[in-house]
Amino acid sequence: MSADHTAQTIHEVERLRAELDAQGKKLVFTNGCFDLLHAGHVRYLHDARALGDALVVGLNSDCSVQALKGPDRPLNGQDDRAEVLRALRAVDAVVIFEGERATSLIEAIRPHVYAKGGDYTVDSLNREERAALENARTEIRILPLVPGRSTTSTINKMLGDKTSHRLRIAILGSGAGSNLRAIIAAVQSGALNAEIAITISDHADSNFIMTARDAGVPAQVVDPGSNPRKLGDAAQKEIFEHLERARVDVVVLAGFMRILKEPVISAYSGRIVNVHPSLLPNHKGANAPQLAIEAGELETGCTVHLVTSEIDAGRTLAQARVPVLPGDTAETLHQRIKTEEHKLLPKVLNEWRELGLPVRGAGAP
């Protein structure tokens, strides 16, 4: 076996699994970043160990923590994190893995039991990891988390007042990304006093995500899941985690084509805005410019509104009017509407606090 303070190799863990198997004993596996160990981790690992006879922790490598949690993480390098974990009574072995998911480790170890923290449900586990667990006939156990203890909340407390008072915004989009470009331009020119903390897309090859990458703003793609129209539970949760890590004040939906549900919708209640290409409450839902033409409107426009669980129904924050011209197609009209969106959305964001709207922390629910 490796020296007491270093991580084990995968072969050592495979041997451990075979030994346990021969004795009719159970190997429990869990995985995570364990960047800043707190009481919640210690209690969780203790409970996980109690599910079997030995506990193996898959530890995300430094590169994979960075990919998952952003450029400022990990706070502690992988060897230090492994050493601290190995000093815990509950932990029998630690193995470092590359990549964001522990799938290949699960496939190699074939643990008897897989433990995961209670912020997950069996349904919100990553699809790939879940398939590997089912394949290995591993029992999946979700353990309750200790409330109020998390690495992110510890980091946020430490940053406290030292963070600037610029609004930290997240922008979510699926398509062309013209509103994203308008927000980036407004931030760069100083017209919008905000920081783009993160951008998220459900489309890996969208112009939206290319725009974010070209501008050098943090960009994440979330796998929406198998249903082409809906955002699966795992994706809903992943988005929430990205927002929390990025310490987001306000979530901006700029052409995000899937419906956000829990946990984001409650956790960010009053802090999610959408831009819609009509004068709401007229023409809710998809194809609003086309609907305005079909209804024979002489005027339509765009609306920036708060997002609730009911589609296009939250409080209106601002609107801009646009004429419908003879010979307009849905495309020409939409383009004219977008020109107004590009001014209206950055303006509302810049006036966020003056509008009495909440931000993260004290003002937020």
Of 277 and 346, CB closest to ligand GRF: 277
Q: Which residue number has the CB closest to ligand GRF?
A: 255
- Answer yes or no whether residue 336 interacts with ligand GRF by CB under 6 A: no
C-alpha 248/C-alpha 171 separation (Å) is 10
8 A C-beta contact, residue 100 and residue 68: yes
- Candidates 276, 305, 336, 360: give the one binding ligand GRF (CB under 6 A): 276
8 A C-beta contact, residue 293 and residue 253: no
Q: In the annotation, is 112 catalytic?
A: no
- Answer yes or no whether residue 341 interacts with ligand GRF by CB under 6 A: yes
- Answer yes or no whether residue 176 interacts with ligand GRF by CB under 6 A: yes
- Candidates 192, 338, 348, 349: give the one binding ligand GRF (CB under 6 A): 338
Phi, psi for residue 5 in degrees, rounded to 5: -100, -5
Minimum gap (Å) between residue 300 Cβ and ligand GRF: 11
- Answer yes or no whether residue 259 interacts with ligand GRF by CB under 6 A: no
Q: Tell me the one-letter amino acid at 290.
A: Q
The CA–CA distances, whole Å, from 149 to 41, 79, 119, 234, 237 equal: 8, 23, 12, 22, 18
Q: For residue 236, how far is the Cα from the chain centroid?
A: 7
Q: Tell me the one-letter amino acid at 364.
A: A
The CA–CA distances, whole Å, from 92 to 10, 33, 109, 139 equal: 13, 17, 14, 19
Minimum gap (Å) between residue 171 Cβ and ligand GRF: 9
Report how many residues bind ligand GRF under the rule CB under 6 A: 15
| Both tokens assigned to 89 | 């009574």
Half-sphere exposure of residue 347: CA atoms within 13 angstroms, side-chain side = 13
8 A C-beta contact, residue 46 and residue 52: no
Catalytic: which of 41, 112, 276, 342?
276
Site string for ligand GRF, 238-257 (x = CB under 6 A): ----------------xx--
Half-sphere exposure of residue 174: CA atoms within 13 angstroms, side-chain side = 13
Minimum gap (Å) between residue 283 Cβ and ligand GRF: 11
- Answer yes or no whether residue 62 interacts with ligand GRF by CB under 6 A: no
In a 3-state reduction of DSSP, which class is residue 85?
helix
- Candidates 64, 151, 178, 236: give the one binding ligand GRF (CB under 6 A): 178
Scan residues 179-208 and list those touching ligand GRF (CB under 6 A). 179, 208
- Answer yes or no whether residue 124 interacts with ligand GRF by CB under 6 A: no
Active site residues: 276
- Point out which residues bind ligand GRF (CB under 6 A): 173, 175-179, 208, 254-255, 275-277, 302, 338, 341
